[in-house]
Amino acid sequence: MRAHLRFLILDDFDPDTGELALRVAFQPGPEPGLELLRLRLHLGRAGNPLDPLTRELRTHVQMPLPPLWEHGLKTIIHAIEEELGGPDGRNALRYLWVRTQLLHPAESARSTPNHPVPRQVEILRDWSHRLDQEGQALRAAEILDRLLLLAPRDVTALAYLTGFFRSQGMAEEMAAVAERWLKAEPGRVEAKLRHGEALVRLGRVQEARAAFEAVLKVHPVHLLAHLGMAQALALLGGNPFPHLDAAQELDPGATASVLRETFDYRLLAAPAGDRTYDLEGLPALLGVSGAEVQDYLQFLGLPLASADGSVRESELARWVGVMNRYALLPGGLNWSAPTPRRLPELG
């Protein structure tokens, strides 16, 4: 099977150099998946600016330049040249629209040039949806990012991108997009929760706590808000158990899954005089085997204080307390932190 052209997307135009950056996405064979050709066209030089693209297609894909691409690119180049001739033609911000242009090799209805902006938005949305269905989440997210240049408050795109950055562990990007989502849709609970979750990942835990509190004031029996609030309080050294108890009542299975798999048992600031235990001494301390301790570390979130293999008493006590309270281990652990020799004075 010969290669199959999927789309051409424009990436940027530099008014100082006259370079128009683009990518061609094609399917090289019967197996699903995309490969990309990256190249730059040079405007303002002698000859046909599309010649490099024509050569690349013949060399790498063994296909001619589709007439629809030729027509669409000539339309875009003409618009760029008109902008360049204006009084502010060297301002790169005037060419952000270039990044929103996408061309189908055979269907003008699925290409953005010559369509009004609302229609271009829907064309990009359709491309993103198709790519997502094909398992191309990165490409789908990229196209939605371009869509937001045309429709900055599009809540469907903002919600998808928030989820995408969450799945990729990109906390800063997740927080930024969730904040935009909140501004576009202030009452959306999911946006508030995702924003709070991103803030936790960034270590901005007080802000995250405020975000979860805001949800609980309106939705006092919201499972994810209770779990988020418990996480924020735990990191701050507070008491997470009222919120974990509430979550346990609402959905025991989901709560147990979070506590086993994703809950962070660290404290952002260890209490004064906090003791540490060497990893080698934990089996005797907890009454379990060394293999079980390794399982706790790898699969159940027991936090190490440092790379040298020590565990903080405060974090161990919190972790054991959660494991026992919610019966997350087969037999429980018969250990609790010793009473401190000197109790802190109350302020």
Domain ranges in the chain?
1-114, 276-325
User: What was the pLDDT predicted at 298?
Assistant: 94
User: What was the pLDDT predicted at 64?
Assistant: 95
Query: Which uninterrupted H or E stretch holds 319?
Result: helix 313-325
Query: Which uninterrupted H or E stretch holds 38?
Result: strand 35-42
pLDDT above 90 covers a percentage of the chain that reads 86
Q: How far is CA 1 from CA 4, 31, 257, in A?
A: 9, 10, 46
User: What was the pLDDT predicted at 347?
Assistant: 38
DSSP 151-164: -TT-HHHHHHHHHH
Mean per-residue pLDDT, 188-195:
97
User: What was the pLDDT predicted at 346?
Assistant: 43
Q: Which of 228, 260, 264, 262 is nearest to 246 (CA)?
A: 228
Instruction: Using pLDDT thresholds of 50, 70 and 90, give the confidence band for residue 339.
Output: low
Mean per-residue pLDDT, 84-93:
90
User: What was the pLDDT predicted at 172?
Assistant: 97
User: What was the pLDDT predicted at 306?
Assistant: 76
- pLDDT tens digit sequence for 47-77: 899 999 999 999 988 999 999 999 999 999 9
User: What was the pLDDT predicted at 115?
Assistant: 96
* Torsion 279-281-282-288 (CA) sign: positive
Asked if the model's pLDDT at residue 341 lies above 60, the reply is: no
d(CA 248, CA 129): 36
For residues 77 and 33, the model is more confident at 77
Instruction: Using pLDDT thresholds of 50, 70 and 90, give the confidence band for residue 340.
Output: low
Mean per-residue pLDDT, 31-55:
92
Amino acid identity, residue 263? F
Q: For the chain, what is the radius of gyration of the CA atoms? A: 28
Mean per-residue pLDDT, 104-121:
97
Average pLDDT, the chain: 94
Mean per-residue pLDDT, 329-343:
77
Mean per-residue pLDDT, 210-225:
97
Instruction: Using pLDDT thresholds of 50, 70 and 90, give the confidence band for residue 22.
Output: very high
Tell whether pTM > 0.85.
yes
User: What was the pLDDT predicted at 29?
Assistant: 78
Instruction: Using pLDDT thresholds of 50, 70 and 90, give the confidence band for residue 33.
Output: confident
Mean per-residue pLDDT, 268-287:
93
